[in-house]
Structure 1
Amino acid sequence: MSSPALLFQNLRWRLFRNALSVLLSQSWWRVATIAYSCALIWAFLFAVSWYGFHQLKTQPTWRIPLNGTLIEYLFDAFFFTLTILLIFSTGIILYSSLFASSETGFLLSTPIPDDQVFSYKFQGAVAFSSWAFVLLGSPLLLAYGLEVEGIAPWYYYAVVPLFFLGFLLIPGSIGALACLFIVNLLPRLRKQLLIGLIALVILGGIVWMVVWIRQARELGFGSRTWFESLLSEVGFLGGRLVPFHWVSRGIKYAAMRRPDLMAYNLGLVWSYGLFAYLVTVWLARKFYRRGYNRMASGGALRQRFGGHWLDRLLTWPLFFLDEQMRMLIVKDFRAFRRDPAQWAQILIFLGIGTFYFLLMRRFYEQDIGRSFKIGISILTLIATSFLMCAYTGRFIFPMLSLEGTKFWILGLLPLDRSRLMMGKFIFSVLGCLLAGEFLIVFSNLMLGMAWLVVVAHMLAVGLLAVGFSGLSVGLGAVLPNFRETDPSKIAVGFGGTVNLIAGLMLLGVVIITVAGPIQLLHARTPETAIPIAEIPWFVWVSLPIGILAGGLATWYPMRIGLRNLRAMEF
Structure 2
Amino acid sequence: MKSIFHIIKYKLLIFLKLNSEISPGYLFKALSSSIVYGIFAYGCYFFTMNSMEYLLSGVNIGAFLFHRFIAVILFIFFITINIGNIVVSYSTLYKSKEVFYFISKPISFTKIFIIKFLDNFFYSSSTLLLIVGAIMLGYGIYFNLDWYFYPISLIGIILPFMFTAGSLGAIILLIVLKLSSKIGMKKVLTTIGLIYAISVLSYYFLSSPAEMVQKVFDYYPNINAYFGFLDNDFLKLLPNYWVSDSLFWISKGSYERAFPFMYVNIISSISVFLIAIFLAHKWYYKTWAEYSVSNSTLKLKDKKDSIFNLKSSVLNGINESIVKREILLFFREPNQWIHLLVMLFLIVIFITSIAGIDMTILNAYNDYFRTAIYVAVTIFNVFLISSISIRFIFPLISLEGETFWKLRTAPVNLKDLIFKKLAIYFLVVFFIGQIISYFSNFHFPVELAIIAQINMAIVTVALVSLNFGMGGIFLNLKEKNAIRIASSQGASITLLLSLMFLIMIVIILFVPVFNFFQEIKNGYQVSRVNLMTSTLILFILTSISSFFFLRAGFKSLQRDI
TM-score (norm 1): 0.73
Cα deviation code 1:377-400 (max 9, x no counterpart): 244335533543454355324322
Match of 2:319 among 316, 321, 325: 325
Whether the 8 Å contact between 2:462 and 2:543 is mirrored in structure 1 is: yes
Q: Which residue of 2 aligns with 1:6?
A: 5
Find the aligned partners of 2:302 and 2:381 in 1 and give their Cα distance: 38
Whether the 8 Å contact between 2:371 and 2:510 is mirrored in structure 1 is: no
Cα deviation code 1:124-146 (max 9, x no counterpart): 33335555665666677778878
Aligned AA (2:281): R
Match of 2:41 among 38, 52, 56: 38
Whether the 8 Å contact between 2:82 and 2:165 is mirrored in structure 1 is: yes
Secondary structure in 2 matching 1:234: coil
> CA shift at 1:119, angstroms?
0.9
Residue 91 (str. 1) matches residue 94 (str. 2): no
Whether the 8 Å contact between 1:170 and 1:273 is mirrored in structure 2 is: yes
Secondary structure in 2 matching 1:111: coil
Q: Which residue of 1 aligns with 2:272?
A: 276
Aligned length: 545
Find the aligned partners of 1:557 and 1:251 in 2 and give their Cα distance: 41
Whether the 8 Å contact between 1:170 and 1:272 is mirrored in structure 2 is: yes
Whether the 8 Å contact between 1:456 and 1:518 is mirrored in structure 2 is: no
Which residues in structure 2 correspond to 1:136-175 (within 5 Å)? 159-164=152-157, 165-175=159-169
> CA shift at 1:462, angstroms?
1.9
Which residues in structure 2 correspond to 1:410-489 (within 5 Å)? 417=414, 420-446=417-443, 448-449=444-445, 451-469=446-464, 473=468, 481-485=476-480, 487=482
Distance 1:562 1:542, change over 3 A: same
Q: Which residue of 2 aligns with 1:113?
A: 108
Q: Which residue of 2 aligns with 1:366?
A: 363
Whether the 8 Å contact between 2:207 and 2:235 is mirrored in structure 1 is: no
Secondary structure in 2 matching 1:235: coil
Compute the RMSD of aligned alpha carbons: 5.3
Q: Percent identity?
A: 18
Find the aligned partners of 1:72 and 1:495 in 2 and give their Cα distance: 34
> CA shift at 1:255, angstroms?
6.9
Residue 526 (str. 1) matches residue 524 (str. 2): no
Find the aligned partners of 1:185 and 1:192 in 2 and give their Cα distance: 9
> CA shift at 1:186, angstroms?
0.7
Distance 1:27 1:119, change over 3 A: same
Distance 1:18 1:43, change over 3 A: farther
Find the aligned partners of 1:507 and 1:238 in 2 and give their Cα distance: 34
Q: Which residue of 2 aligns with 1:291?
A: 287
Structure 2: runs of 5 or more not aligned:
none
Which residues in structure 2 correspond to 1:169-568 (within 5 Å)? 169-187=163-181, 189-190=184-185, 193-194=188-189, 197-198=192-193, 200-202=195-197, 205-206=200-201, 209=204, 216=211, 223-224=217-218, 234-239=232-237, 267-298=263-294, 321-322=315-316, 324-337=318-331, 338-340=334-336, 342-343=339-340, 346-347=343-344, 349-351=346-348, 353-354=350-351, 357-370=354-367, 372-389=369-386, 391-407=388-404, 417=414, 420-446=417-443, 448-449=444-445, 451-469=446-464, 473=468, 481-485=476-480, 487=482, 519=513, 522-523=516-517, 525-527=519-521, 536=529
Aligned AA (1:86): I
Secondary structure in 1 matching 2:107: coil
Find the aligned partners of 2:73 and 2:124 in 1 and give their Cα distance: 17
Q: Which residue of 2 aligns with 1:27?
A: 30
Distance 1:306 1:201, change over 3 A: farther
Distance 1:123 1:497, change over 3 A: closer
Secondary structure in 2 matching 1:6: helix
Aligned AA (1:102): K
Secondary structure in 2 matching 1:339: helix
Cα deviation code 1:275-309 (max 9, x no counterpart): 33223213212321222222233258587667999
Distance 1:360 1:230, change over 3 A: farther
Find the aligned partners of 2:353 and 2:50 in 1 and give their Cα distance: 22
Find the aligned partners of 1:455 and 1:5 in 2 and give their Cα distance: 56
Aligned AA (1:460): N
Structure 1: runs of 5 or more not aligned:
none
> CA shift at 1:237, angstroms?
1.5
> CA shift at 1:375, angstroms?
4.4
Q: Which residue of 1 aligns with 2:95?
A: 100
Find the aligned partners of 2:249 and 2:493 in 1 and give their Cα distance: 48
Higher mean C-alpha deviation, range 24-33 or range 201-210:
201-210
Q: Which residue of 1 aligns with 2:121?
A: 126
Whether the 8 Å contact between 2:113 and 2:280 is mirrored in structure 1 is: yes
Whether the 8 Å contact between 2:466 and 2:549 is mirrored in structure 1 is: yes
Higher mean C-alpha deviation, range 275-284 or range 92-101:
275-284
Find the aligned partners of 2:184 and 2:294 in 1 and give their Cα distance: 12
Find the aligned partners of 2:139 and 2:553 in 1 and give their Cα distance: 52
> CA shift at 1:98, angstroms?
0.9
Aligned AA (2:269): G
> CA shift at 1:179, angstroms?
0.9
Aligned AA (1:236): F
Distance 1:254 1:557, change over 3 A: closer
Find the aligned partners of 1:474 and 1:156 in 2 and give their Cα distance: 40
Secondary structure in 1 matching 2:354: helix
Whether the 8 Å contact between 2:242 and 2:261 is mirrored in structure 1 is: yes
Find the aligned partners of 1:111 and 1:87 in 2 and give their Cα distance: 31
Distance 1:426 1:541, change over 3 A: same
Find the aligned partners of 1:491 and 1:153 in 2 and give their Cα distance: 37
> CA shift at 1:71, angstroms?
8.2
Find the aligned partners of 1:252 and 1:457 in 2 and give their Cα distance: 37
TM-score (norm 2): 0.74
Aligned AA (1:368): Y
